[in-house]
A = this chain, B = another copy of it.
């Protein structure tokens, strides 16, 4: 699954254009650097087309959306589509408010998304199987693989639903990722950071199913390694260790630590 994807990111240093929220924007920049890519954050409507044209992937994250920002997202997304640059979409808080749900649908309908990544409530709400969200956190962890598969086929994209076990599907194959650690839920922005890592991997690997599963393994494994460190005494020291572990990941570590159950159809 993983192959030499981390090495490739480090060699190619893909430029990842983010239009994202103001809560975790710094974390997304730093995790991109840590994994080997180059981050650029730009949301002015006058420049997003030009910026994305020089990028190798585009992240759209609606964590602190405004209608103005959504316009820039769609403009950048369409430009990315025209240049075959993968677009990774994180529908943060879909289901929590009407404009988050409607914006998510609008982006899905107007931009060809390569990967949609959300927690199981966000993904459940958008794929129609339902879910319960409080703010931006999933309250329910139910999964409905059939609805994920249908959605992936309908929108021709990868669906990645994160949770204790992550589920990833392209509409045919289904993978379950068991890497991860509960401490990842104690810090803000882990979902956004995972999305950024997926973008880095999709920027260098055209098999986006494989790239997404590998990114989820990398993210979860770094969490496991960080949590096992003796100096970790709470969420802040865990976060520091997590970033360091992301930086120190290798393809060999990934291949040793991978916990994926494949159900290839």
Q: In the complex, what distance in Å separates the CA atom of A166 from the CA atom of B192?
A: 34
Contact with B along A10-22 (1 / 0, CB 8 A): 0001010100011
Q: In the complex, what distance in Å separates the CA atom of A30 from the CA atom of B238?
A: 12
Contact of A47 among B98, B186, B188, B247 (CB under 8 A): B98
A50 on the interface (CB 8 Å rule)? yes
> Which of A58-66, A142-150, A202-210 lies at the binding interface?
A58-66
Q: Is the CB of B44 within 8 A of A96?
A: no
User: Which DSSP category, helix, strand, loop or mixed, fits chain A's interface?
Assistant: mixed
* B residues less than 8 Å from A63 (CB atoms): 41
* B residues less than 8 Å from A22 (CB atoms): 22, 25, 41
Q: In the complex, what distance in Å separates the CA atom of A111 from the CA atom of B171?
A: 50
Contact of A96 among B34, B43, B54, B135 (CB under 8 A): B54
Q: Is the CB of A235 within 8 A of B30?
A: yes
Q: Is the CB of B236 within 8 A of A239?
A: yes
Q: In the complex, which residues 214-264 of chain A have their Cβ closer than 8 Å to any Cβ of chain B?
A: 231, 233-237, 239-248
A100 on the interface (CB 8 Å rule)? yes
Interface core residue of A34, A47, A55 (most chain B CB under 10 Å): A47
* B residues less than 8 Å from A47 (CB atoms): 97-100
A39 on the interface (CB 8 Å rule)? yes
* 8 CB-based A-B contacts, threshold 8 Å: A15-B135, A24-B29, A42-B97, A231-B231, A233-B244, A234-B244, A235-B247, A240-B240
Question: Which residues of A line the B interface, CB within 8 A?
Answer: 13, 15, 17, 21-27, 29-30, 33-34, 38-44, 46-47, 50-51, 54-55, 63-67, 93, 96-100, 134-137, 186-189, 231, 233-237, 239-248
